[in-house]
């Protein structure tokens, strides 16, 4: 099941049970208090938000789409528990559907990823994202992005 309802209990469950790679990424980006800071950010943002739950109503993934100041540019994110692997077919199908919608209205989609987050990188590559290392970001991270191919003058 996918919902867009922001529920602090479900968000906290995911944050307290993150995949190892997601937890490392969150700690490096946000700090040791990543649980409270991430919860506060999610609850107070106007990002488009998604939460995935299994048949037992246990949350296993959440993500969002953040608007940027640049028209046609979106930042995407996903955090999950280890259970996402059990639900990968459902998750990939739903993520692809949402990405297709985001691509309709944006020419660039991006974010930064922990270099050792291999599962996420495999999925992002399947969705057509490219990766690049930048000197201006911490060594543990790289930029991933998708850019619409130009169709001439627009």
Q: Hey, where are the domains in the chain?
A: 2-109
- pTM for this model (two decimals): 0.85
The token duo for 121 is 């990188």
The token duo for 76 is 């995407």
pLDDT band at 114 (very low <50, low <70, confident <90, very high): confident
| Count of helices and strands (H, E) across the chain | 5, 7
- pLDDT reading at 152 higher than 70: no
pLDDT band at 6 (very low <50, low <70, confident <90, very high): confident
- pLDDT reading at 150 higher than 90: no
> Which fold does the domain 2-109 belong to in CATH?
Aminopeptidase (3.40.630)
State how far the Cα of 32 lies from the Cα of 23, in Å rounded to an integer: 10
């Amino acid at each position: 099941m996918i919902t867009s309802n922001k529920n602090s209990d479900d968000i906290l469950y995911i944050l307290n049970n993150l995949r190892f790679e997601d937890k490392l990424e969150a700690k490096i980006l946000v700090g040791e208090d990543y649980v409270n800071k991430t919860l506060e950010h999610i609850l107070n943002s106007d990002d488009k938000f998604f939460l995935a739950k299994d048949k037992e109503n246990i949350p296993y993934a959440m993500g969002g789409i953040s608007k940027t100041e640049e028209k046609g540019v979106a930042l995407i994110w996903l955090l999950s528990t280890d259970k996402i692997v059990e639900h990968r077919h459902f998750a990939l199908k739903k993520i692809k559907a949402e990405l297709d919608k985001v691509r309709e209205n944006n020419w660039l989609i991006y974010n930064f990823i922990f270099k050792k987050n291999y599962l996420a990188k495999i999925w992002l590559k399947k969705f057509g994202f490219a990766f690049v290392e930048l000197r201006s970001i911490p060594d543990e991270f790289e930029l991933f992005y998708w850019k619409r191919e130009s169709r001439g003058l627009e």
